[in-house]
Structure formats: structure tokens, C-alpha cells
């Protein structure tokens, strides 16, 4: 079958000669590529969208030990790193001792974290009510104190976990000025009293505070 040759279109910016107009063709291709790149950059925001600004660097957080539960502005320690992992509102000295202990535990491959730090009086009272409803009196009093007696409400106690971490701190806490307070609560720690070099005798349970 005879082939019907059709005249081939001449590319834009080029004459019918083999090399004529090559600079113009290259320039046109560059413009097209630039247009495609610009279109891709604005696609996320829709046609004609303004270029998105880069996110601003996060501002440093205030020291939670100074801010406390009320969120008040930080004091002299505003440049200190923010407290984390359940330490908001906890006494600053207690928090520092705990952080040192946590770093040492981590170096030994032991996980240590705060499971309960400072509580409001309302939170503590709910714990009391729940314990009484579940266990009755006086059994509930062995495990939870009223708000007026609780070191958690004062920001002077932390409960830690998991179990392995709690036992690690029970063994090594004295090295960091931390003491297990109750014999039946391996997870509850308070500060070593000022001037003491050994932890006080543990309370059998929390019923002493009632």
C-alpha cells in the first residue's frame, strides 16, 4: 500500500533547517520548565496561592516549677528547661532529684517515669471517694490520704513506674535524696529530709494521716 507522507510540523522557534533556531528552542523549553515548577509549588494552596511562609521556631516553654498549677509567669528560673513527664507543679528540688535518678536508671537500661505528680485537692478527694466506694473503710485509708494530709497536693511526692523502675528507685533512691515513704507503696517517693543521710522509717501504710 503506498505510504502517504505528511509534512511534519516544524517545532516552535525553529525553521525547517536542521539546526536553525536551536537557541530559541532551548530558551522556550527553559521557560516551560520554569512554569511547571512554579505551578507545582502553588498546587498545595490552589491556583494562584501565595507561597507558604516557613513555620516560626517554637518559643521556649516557661519553667513549670515556677509556673505551678496556676500557670503564673516564671520567676528567676525562666531560662531553665521545662519540667516534663508528669512533673508540672512538683517542688523544683524534688523534680531535680528525680531527673537525676531517671538519668541514672536510663543509663542502666531501666525505664523510670512519673505516673502521678502534683494533684489538686479536688483530684485527691476523688481518689479518696473512689477508694472508699471500692474498698470501704478502713481499708481505703491504707492507700490514700485526705487532701489536707497528702504530699501530692503539696507537690512534694511523686509516684513512679513501671514496677521494675519503682524497685530500682527503692534501691537507689537514697543516692539521689529520694525515699520510699510507705511500705505498701513501692511507687511513692518523697524527698530525703534536709540534713538527713538515711531515709526515715517507712509508714506501714497511709492510715497514719487519718
- Let me know if 125 is exposed, middle or buried by CB neighbors in 10 A (0-12, 13-18, 19+): middle
Domain range for 48 = 10-59
Contact status, residue 37 vs residue 30, Cβ threshold 8 Å: no
pLDDT tens string 18-43: 444 444 444 444 434 334 333 333 33
If pLDDT is split at 50, 70 and 90, which confidence band does 135 have?
very high
Q: What is the pLDDT of residue 4?
A: 45
- Compute the Cα dihedral for 150, 153, 156, 159 and give only its sign: positive
Look at residue 68 and tell me if it is in a domain.
Answer: no
Whole-number average pLDDT of the chain: 73
C-alpha neighbours within 13 Å on the C-beta side of residue 177: 14
Residue 128 sits in the same domain as residue 176: yes
Q: Does 186 have pLDDT greater than 50?
A: yes
| Number of H-type helices and E-type strands within the chain | 5, 4
Residue 164 sits in the same domain as residue 117: yes
Q: What is the pLDDT of residue 84?
A: 54
Amino acid at each position: 500500500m503506498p505510504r502517504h507522507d505528511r509534512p511534519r510540523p516544524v517545532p516552535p522557534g525553529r525553521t525547517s533547517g536542521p539546526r536553525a533556531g536551536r537557541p530559541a528552542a532551548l530558551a522556550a523549553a527553559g521557560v516551560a520548565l520554569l512554569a511547571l515548577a512554579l505551578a507545582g509549588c502553588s498546587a498545595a494552596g490552589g491556583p494562584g496561592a501565595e507561597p507558604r511562609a516557613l513555620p516560626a521556631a517554637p518559643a521556649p516553654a516557661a519553667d513549670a516549677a515556677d509556673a505551678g498549677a496556676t500557670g503564673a509567669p516564671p520567676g528567676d528560673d525562666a531560662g531553665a528547661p521545662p519540667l516534663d513527664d508528669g512533673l508540672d507543679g512538683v517542688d523544683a528540688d524534688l523534680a531535680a532529684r528525680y531527673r537525676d535518678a531517671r538519668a541514672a536508671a536510663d543509663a542502666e537500661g531501666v525505664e523510670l517515669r512519673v505516673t502521678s505528680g502534683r494533684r489538686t485537692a479536688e483530684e485527691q478527694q476523688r481518689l479518696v471517694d473512689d477508694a472508699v466506694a471500692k474498698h470501704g473503710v478502713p481499708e481505703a485509708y491504707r492507700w490514700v490520704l485526705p487532701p489536707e494530709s497528702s504530699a501530692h497536693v503539696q507537690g512534694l511526692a511523686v509516684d513512679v513506674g513501671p514496677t521494675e523502675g519503682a524497685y530500682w528507685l527503692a534501691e537507689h533512691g537514697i543516692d539521689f535524696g529520694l525515699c520510699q515513704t510507705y511500705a505498701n507503696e513501692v511507687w511513692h517517693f518523697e524527698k530525703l529530709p534536709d540534713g538527713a543521710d538515711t531515709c526515715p522509717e517507712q509508714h506501714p501504710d497511709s492510715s497514719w494521716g487519718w
